[in-house]
Amino acid sequence: MSLEIFAVPGIPEVREGDDLGAVVATAVRAAGLELHSGDILVIASKVVSKSLGLRRYASRDSVIADETVRVVAERRAGDRVTRVVESVAGPVMAAAGVDESNVGEAGGVLVLPRDADAAAAEVLASVRAAWESETGGGDVGPLGVVVSDTAGRPWRAGVVDFALGSAGVRVLEDHRGGVDADGRELSVTVIAVADEIAAAADLVKSKSGALPVAVVRGLPWASDDVDEPGAGGLVRIGPGDWFRTGPVEALRAALGVEPGSAESESIGIRAVGALEDVEVRAGRVVALAGHGSGAGVTGRMTGSDAEVRIEVEASSAYGLGRVVERVSVAAASEDLEVVGCEVAGLRAVVTVRSIWR
């Protein structure tokens, strides 16, 4: 198998109400290119949002809040907090996919289409009609459209494009029940080909060169089946979501501080990237452990920068044990481990240090 991928030049600035499919078909024709049976058009979500008028003029943070179903994880970078969220549009991604780059002269920020599969279907129908009208030919055969967006991935650096929505494309290639090259039965392998198509197309599209559309040719996954499931079904949430909440946020939530809440902001949010100093992280441990506990929690540095002694007191032995355990959980949320606990009456000193040494 081989494939060809090429960007479509000449796409003008897309505005609300534009027939995006006709714009794409005209640009393909004007560039002296052709659409072949089996071609898959990959279109950046940004131009889809522009054509649908999904532009907002409120602050970026307030728009992100409006486009968020729930916060999965949050980190601070300088004076800005970035949140990975389950977006109203469906995917779990940073900032709910709200985009402030390349928005055009109209300004504002762009949000993702709520039903990207339906948007892809509309563009596909329009491309087909416009192409057949311009060429005067008959049915070009199976064509597909993938609406792509960009997101990061757990455990991998950098971002890649993925299929936000699709139409006329088989989005999964299910190898279960088949065999590998050694004859062993495949029992779990299902390939997200729509995501792979989106990522491949991004290699020729340009975020700075006004090339939001690419054609992928030579693959067998374009389909005329009107009941072909769209890429929206690739989102894994609900019971099948192994990573519903970030591990830091799960620990903080267990102590009554939900991600994205005012309490989370007041206690402090971990920085993205490199670990902060132990005393900075321990300061958040003190605030988190003391939140709603009804006990006194204070922090005091020892002579070493590697360890922090956290002093705890309570009005009963039960209360003291409870808050010591809260310190232990809060410490885990900051990648700190408890290495000692000295108890004297209704007071305790908990010593913590970084697990990364």
SS3 250: helix
Helices (H), ranges, 31-186? 45-51, 60-66, 116-135
* The CATH number, out of the four listed (3.40.190.80, 3.30.1330.100, 3.30.465.10, 3.40.50.2300), of the domain defined by the range 4-240: 3.30.1330.100
- State the CB neighbour count (10 A cutoff) for residue 97: 25
Q: What's the CA gap between 22 and 262, in Å, rounded?
A: 46
What is the mean predicted confidence (pLDDT) over 103-116? 92
C-beta separation of 85 from 68 below 8 A: yes
Residue with more model confidence, 300 or 334: 334
- Give the pairing type, strands 144-153 and 40-44: parallel
Q: Note the pLDDT of residue 301.
A: 62
Residues carrying CATH 3.30.1330.100, the chain? 4-240
Decide: 70 and 83 in contact? Cβ < 8 Å. no
Indicate the pLDDT class of residue 183, thresholds 50, 70 and 90.
Answer: confident
Average pLDDT over residues 330-337: 96
Q: Which residue has the higher pLDDT, 45 or 357?
A: 45
Residue 137 confidence (pLDDT) above 80: no
Nearest residue to 135 via CA among 28, 223, 39, 40: 28
pLDDT at position 261 is 95
Residue 178 has a pLDDT of: 81
In this prediction, residues 59-82 reach a mean pLDDT of 94
Q: How far apart are CA 279 and CA 302, in angstroms?
A: 10
For the chain, the C-alpha Rg in angstroms (whole number) is 26
**What confidence score (pLDDT) does residue 179 get?**
76
pLDDT at 299: 67
Asked if pLDDT for residue 311 goes beyond 80, the answer is yes
For residue 201, what pLDDT band results from cuts at 50, 70 and 90?
very high
What's the confidence (pLDDT) of residue 61? 92
Q: What is the band of 302 on the pLDDT scale with cuts at 50, 70, 90? A: low
Q: Which residues contact 124 (CB under 8 A, 6 or more apart)?
A: 21, 41, 143, 144, 145, 167, 168
Top-confidence residue, 239 or 336? 336
Contacts 24+ apart (CB under 8 A), 66-73: 67/96, 67/97, 67/98, 67/111, 67/112, 68/96, 68/260, 70/260, 71/249, 71/258, 71/259, 71/260, 72/243, 72/244, 72/245, 72/246, 72/249, 72/259, 73/245, 73/246, 73/248, 73/249, 73/259
Percent share of the chain, pLDDT over 70? 96
* 217 vs 17: CA distance, rounded Å: 29
Which CATH code for domain 247-354? 3.30.70
Q: What average pLDDT score do residues 113-122 get?
A: 97
- Look over the chain and give the mean of its residue pLDDT values, rounded to a whole number: 91
Segments of the chain assigned to CATH 3.30.70? 247-354
| Predicted confidence (pLDDT) at residue 150 exceeds the cutoff of 60 | yes
**CA-to-CA distance for 295 and 219, rounded, in angstroms?**
64
Answer whether residue 309 shows pLDDT above 80: yes
pTM score? 0.89
Q: Does residue 157 have a pLDDT over 80?
A: yes
3-class DSSP assignment, residue 35 = coil
Window from 5-19, 53-67, 232-246 with minimum mean pLDDT? 232-246
Statement: residue 284 has pLDDT above 90: yes
| 63's tokens | 């728009």
Query: Which residues sit opposite 351 in a β-bridge?
Result: 309, 340
Instruction: Quick: pLDDT tens for 334-343.
Output: 999 999 999 9
Q: Which CA distances in Å does 102 have to 65, 97, 99, 115?
A: 21, 14, 8, 22
pLDDT bracket for residue 117 (50, 70, 90): very high
Model pLDDT, residue 303: 54
| Residue tagged 């355990």 (tokens) | 325
- The backbone region for 194, taken as left when phi is positive above 0, alpha when psi lies in -120 to 50, beta otherwise, is alpha
Measured torsion, CA atoms of residues 280, 281, 282, 283, in degrees rounded to the nearest 10: 50
Percent of the chain with pLDDT over 90: 72
73: nearest Cα among 255, 274, 260, 239: 260
| Per-residue model confidence (pLDDT) at position 9 | 95
Tell me the mean pLDDT in the region 170-175: 86
Whether the per-residue pLDDT at 174 is higher than 90: the answer is no
Model confidence at 288, pLDDT cuts 50, 70, 90, reads very high
